[in-house]
């Protein structure tokens, strides 16, 4: 029996092993909605150009609508023998409308069909992810507004560096997520050219109107080179690159939640609904949601690496290797979407332990830079000299087992006679954060103003 998909060229049906490795319907059936949209646009164009009869086009469109309803209702039977979503839809269409179904594939190939479907799917997913990223920005913004004055330690090398506010820390993630949204939007803009009509690789001799199909599918216009149209997967790589960076950002905050919930910090807490217990230790409350966000970032990053490796050695135009472009992307974008939902829940519901944060903010000589800055301003010392004096005073306080503000004025003047009692006005963590008024600084007034700016921007978007 000849293979109906491949026509008369092949006498025998596919071997079981070939069918197993070749079939993609197990994962590309999620393209169903996009495949039907593309087919309806192609059919309308063929009829408008007189390439197929309007009566056939009407039957085809009605049949595609029926298939869409069957899939939506879970009544459609997907067949592995038919390889992919395109042939499954076409086969079912033939059952519904008869010979007219065979006219749908005029002037197109599965190569430009799948490229179009894939772009439509990625574009739809980017729009969904953008909404999720915006919701997470809102969650962080809510925390920033609530904690503009909440003092906490800022870290470098995970060592106490200078006091900051928790609100300022949250606004850092609002900025990161804005860049993530920008990267996805850039990827969306570049992918928004329609491959449909490129056919297998060389275009078609039929008098098609590619501008019509591009417009019908919401693209900015058609792609300009048929070879590139069917062999390009830059849009998938770029989307995965943006997804990888976004996943890294989520993983960084997940790591902070894990650290901050540990006994050594106790900076934040999560509700019971976002933590788990232990099967043997009844006292435990584990930040498993954060840990899983941290772990799933690896799946997203791996998908970008996987597709890069698939594409790096392929000659133009289409190769079957490119069937491997989908599973990893589906998994990665699914994982990112889930992580965004989980992180939005965590960011919106975590509670800050203000006393623990404030206590830690004052430890580790965190106001040493404020002391050095005071020496520059008030004593007119060059910064390098002020830095040396401050380091000497830190060593003195460390040797005595006290903090900087606990050193006596006499102790300080032995190191630098120009120091006066006014020095104590800059050694508190509250004074430190209030003084950081430069653009982008951590002062509470800055945080409130920046939060207000972001709130206005997000509400207008």
Question: Alpha-carbon distance 76 to 70, whole Å?
Answer: 5
Residues in a beta bridge with 171: none
Helices (H) and strands (E) in the chain — how many of each?
Answer: 18, 6
The torsion of the CA quartet 341, 126, 111, 92, rounded to 10 degrees, works out to: 60
Q: Which residue has the tokens 């700016």?
A: 453
CA distances from 288 to 273, 274, 417 (A): 11, 7, 54
Question: Alpha-carbon distance 275 to 230, whole Å?
Answer: 46
Residue numbers annotated as active site: 157, 278
Classified as helix, coil or strand, 84 is coil
Question: Alpha-carbon distance 209 to 195, whole Å?
Answer: 12
Beta-strand relationship, 221-222 and 268-269: unpaired
Question: Alpha-carbon distance 328 to 233, whole Å?
Answer: 13
Residue 70 sits at φ, ψ, to 5 deg, of -65, -45
* Nearest residue to 31 (alpha-carbon basis) of 131, 119, 154, 92: 119
């Amino acid at each position: 029996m000849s293979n109906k998909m491949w026509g008369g060229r092949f006498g025998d049906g596919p071997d079981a092993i070939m069918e197993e490795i070749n079939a993609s319907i197990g994962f590309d059936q999620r393209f169903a909605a996009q495949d039907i949209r593309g087919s309806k646009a192609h059919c309308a164009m063929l009829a408008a150009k007189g390439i197929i009869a309007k009566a056939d086009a009407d039957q085809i469109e009605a049949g595609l609508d029926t298939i869409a309803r069957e899939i939506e209702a879970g009544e459609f039977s997907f067949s592995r023998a038919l390889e992919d979503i395109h042939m499954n839809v076409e086969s079912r269409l033939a059952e519904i409308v008869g010979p007219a179904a065979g006219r749908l594939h005029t002037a197109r190939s599965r190569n430009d069909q799948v490229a179009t479907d894939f772009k439509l799917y990625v574009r739809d997913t980017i729009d969904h992810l953008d909404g999720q990223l915006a919701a997470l920005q809102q969650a962080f913004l809510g925390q920033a507004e609530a904690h503009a004055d909440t003092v906490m330690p800022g870290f470098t090398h995970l060592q106490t560096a200078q006091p900051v506010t928790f609100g300022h820390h949250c606004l850092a993630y609002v900025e990161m997520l804005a860049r993530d949204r920008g990267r996805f939007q850039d990827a969306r803009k570049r992918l928004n050219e329609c491959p449909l009509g490129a056919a297998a690789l060389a275009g078609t001799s039929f008098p098609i109107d590619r501008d019509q199909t591009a417009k019908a599918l919401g693209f900015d216009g058609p792609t300009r080179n048929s070879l590139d149209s069917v062999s390009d997967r830059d849009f998938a790589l770029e989307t995965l690159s943006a997804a990888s960076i976004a996943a890294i950002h989520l993983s960084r905050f997940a790591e902070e939640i894990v650290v901050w919930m540990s006994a050594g910090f106790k900076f934040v807490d999560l509700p019971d609904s976002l933590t788990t217990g232990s099967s043997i230790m009844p006292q435990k409350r584990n930040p498993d949601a954060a840990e899983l966000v941290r772990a799933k970032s690896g799946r997203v990053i791996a998908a970008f690496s996987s597709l890069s490796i698939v594409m790096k050695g392929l000659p133009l135009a289409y190769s079957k290797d490119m069937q491997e472009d989908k599973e990893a992307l589906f998994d990665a974008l699914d994982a990112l979407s889930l992580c965004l939902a989980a992180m939005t829940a965590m960011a919106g519901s975590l509670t800050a332990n203000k006393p623990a944060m404030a206590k830690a903010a004052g430890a580790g000589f965190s106001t040493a830079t404020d002391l050095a800055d005071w020496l520059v301003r008030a004593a007119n010392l060059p910064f390098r000299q002020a830095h040396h004096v401050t380091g000497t005073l830190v060593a003195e306080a460390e040797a005595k087992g006290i903090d900087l503000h606990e050193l006596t004025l006499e102790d300080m003047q032995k190191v630098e006679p120009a120091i006066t009692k006014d020095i104590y006005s800059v050694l508190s963590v509250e004074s430190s954060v209030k003084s950081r008024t430069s653009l982008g600084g951590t002062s509470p007034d800055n945080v409130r103003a920046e939060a207000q700016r972001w709130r206005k921007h997000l509400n207008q978007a």
